[in-house]
Amino acid sequence: NAGVTQTPKFRVLKTGQSMTLLCAQDMNHEYMYWYRQDPGMGLRLIHYSVGEGTTAKGEVPDGYNVSRLKKQNFLLGLESAAPSQTSVYFCASSYLAGRQRDTQYFGPGTRLTVL
């Protein structure tokens, strides 16, 4: 199993440009998450999904949109990138119910720079 994969690994955008980050997992997990990681800030939850076709806002959702059209994929979109969105983005997934639901497995990250 590949686990959680993210595409692309690096990206540089100009202010106002749009892009989509792709997350894929092959563990049949129900829950998927998008985090951003900034120096000294730890991981902050942007959006998450509790199953195919569902999404919900996390701690810092503004400026981002997400979609979960397939169970194994979770897309994070930036419609109009801003320099404040320069960050490292991590996707994670976890099982649906019980104890194992809470163990989140992370992808390798996408480093995004907005100029």
Partner 1 sequence: GESVGLHLPTLSVQEGDNSIINCAYSNSASDYFIWYKQESGKGPQFIIDIRSNMDKRQGQRVTVLLNKTVKHLSLQIAATQPGDSAVYFCAERGGSQGNLIFGKGTKLSVKP
Question: Would you tell me which residues interact with partner 1 (CB under 8 A)?
Answer: 4, 33, 35, 40-45, 48, 56, 58, 90, 92, 99, 102-109
CA angle centred on 103, ends 52 and 22, rounded to 5°: 45
State the nearest-atom distance from the C-beta of 71 to partner 1, in Å: 19
Asked whether the beta carbons of 102 and 51 are under 8 A apart, the reply is no
Residue with smaller CB distance to partner 1, 18 or 103: 103
State the nearest-atom distance from the C-beta of 100 to partner 1, in Å: 10
Asked whether the beta carbons of 35 and 76 are under 8 A apart, the reply is no
